């Protein structure tokens, strides 16, 4: 079995760029997934509350835009997660999945 070693000196510039981008992307992905316990979205940089997986705070002029689907699109979701929340644009209402059906 022959071992192949990447030689950056003989590698094409496009391959070097792709390899570098892939390495940086992989390291960013691994560092974020292994260290992130909860996330804060805040214009002031405040840390998230420990009890929240996602903490959106400190905005006074913006809201949260929930996923907007038609009834047909909603019904096409193969295995909705318990508590999945959507805004149904067919009937203009918020709905959540209780494990059996969607409720207001």
* pLDDT at residue 79, as a whole number: 93
* pLDDT at residue 91, as a whole number: 97
* pLDDT at residue 76, as a whole number: 96
Helices (H), 36-97: 71-75
- How far are the Cα atoms of 24, 56, 63, 66 from residue 90, in angstroms, in the given order? 43, 28, 21, 15
Residue 77 belongs to what domain range?
A: 65-104
Q: Check: CB of residue 36 under 8 Å from CB of residue 30.
A: no
Alpha-carbon distance of 4 to 67, in angstroms, equals: 47
In 8-98, the DSSP E strands lie at 39-41, 54-56, 68-69, 85-88, 93-97
Would 91 be classed as within a structural domain? yes
Q: Are residues 51 and 70 in the same domain?
A: no
pLDDT in single tens digits along all 104 residues of the chain = 555 555 556 667 766 677 677 777 777 666 555 556 889 999 999 998 888 888 999 999 999 999 999 999 999 999 999 999 999 999 999 999 999 999 98
Q: Are residues 70 and 102 in the same domain?
A: yes
Would 47 be classed as within a structural domain? yes
Q: Are residues 44 and 76 in the same domain?
A: no
Would 4 be classed as within a structural domain? no
């Amino acid at each position: 079995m022959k071992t192949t070693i990447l030689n950056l000196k003989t590698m094409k510039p496009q391959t070097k760029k792709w390899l570098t981008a892939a390495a940086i992307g992989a390291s960013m992905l691994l560092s974020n997934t292994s260290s992130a316990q909860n996330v804060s979205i805040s214009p002031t940089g405040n840390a998230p509350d420990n009890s929240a997986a996602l903490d959106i705070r400190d905005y006074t002029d913006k809201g949260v835009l929930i996923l907007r689907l038609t009834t047909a699109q909603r019904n096409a979701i193969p295995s909705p997660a318990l508590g999945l929340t959507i805004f149904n644009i067919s009937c203009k209402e918020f709905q959540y999945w209780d494990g059996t059906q969607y409720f207001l």
